[in-house]
A and B are shown apart, each in its own frame.
Chain A
């Protein structure tokens, strides 16, 4: 995978003077592999173990998980694209504060939009919307990917990572809602006599459930160890 990424970077970073063919199958392959990378083989939550705070704190229902996932997807794609576009302008020494300000701008945009159009969801996600700024996934992708790659690849990486985040949150939210509340999207499924397993809604249950999910995910994808230096965060 590393070799493919390197080759792709070389192909995409050609000199501006050289004519790039309008359609190149190779390039689309790389874009696709960037996309699938975040979605599956380097899933930000289950594989890289990043952005856990929002993942665990708000996934008490499918709706919350989906809402938070969409917010994360938007911020990640937007900031990846913009940071990649500005990567040659931002001086290396102040890049972290610069990235953070760009991310904070997107987060404030999301925050105000959600407050205006989805007040109920906004209320239940609470402080975790502004906290997207401090979400490891976003800064890690900015630092590890968007700062080194062209705009189209960075956007694809943002979309893949964001969708991986969204899917994980939705799955986690659905499992917790089914067992902790006996409902799916608010509709009861076990009938009147079901006694909810409260522990799934509590913080303790979320830790244990994510631990088990991470284990199962490792089983399916093979446990290639990601070390902390590789992801540029924590």
Chain B
């Protein structure tokens, strides 16, 4: 049990997906101008990563590994993700229009978020069992969500700062992220992987 808690903390802060592993940067820079946008993106990504990783784990265990076609992992996993994104978009539109209004526009963008593909691939590389997979698939997007919230809060305040013209937009966000990443290095060594 304690190992699972440690794994969760490790994926959440020590090996934070955005700030330490440098994954999922496109939405991290792209949609974090406002806090409410990053709440929507974070929630939608969390849902897709968790479900897609578990599906990928089962498909790998019962289909890919017995048939010895693990070299098709990349293709199959990205198909799972694309199908899941399309499916959840359609279900959400029919059943919960209110939720669709707030999250719907982020869903198509999740397919090209490399963090989403990285989670199942890394789970396969590490050879996790079911519970470890579950914890990892929740901890990783939670870390992504945490990073999105931090940067969007900072960027809302940055909007009032006087920034040189050429550094406006992505450039200043990247530099801010760099400083954040330095701060997150304080967590390294907290938990041994």
Contacts and interface: CB of A to CB of B under 8 A. Distances in A.
14 contacts: A49-B170, A52-B22, A104-B79, A112-B71, A131-B121, A203-B19, A205-B178, A208-B174, A211-B170, A214-B170, A215-B164, A215-B167, A223-B165, A234-B30
A223 B168 contact: yes
B147 to A, nearest CB: 12
B25 to A, nearest CB: 4
B109 interface: yes
Interface of A: 49-54, 56-57, 96-97, 100-101, 104-105, 107-108, 111-112, 127, 130-131, 133-136, 139-140, 199, 202-212, 214-216, 218-219, 223, 225, 228, 233-234
Interface of B: 19-27, 29-31, 71-75, 78-79, 82-83, 86, 108-109, 111-118, 121-122, 125, 164-175, 177-179, 181-182, 185
B31 A207 contact: no
A21 to B, nearest CB: 40
Contacts of A107: 74
A212 B117 contact: no
Given A108-B74, A108-B75, A203-B19, A52 B171 contact: no
A43 to B, nearest CB: 12
B26 A50 contact: yes
A139 B78 CA distance: 13
A37 to B, nearest CB: 19
A133 B74 contact: yes
A158 B24 CA distance: 23
Nearest to B22: A57
Nearest to A231: B30
A41 to B, nearest CB: 16
A214 B178 contact: no
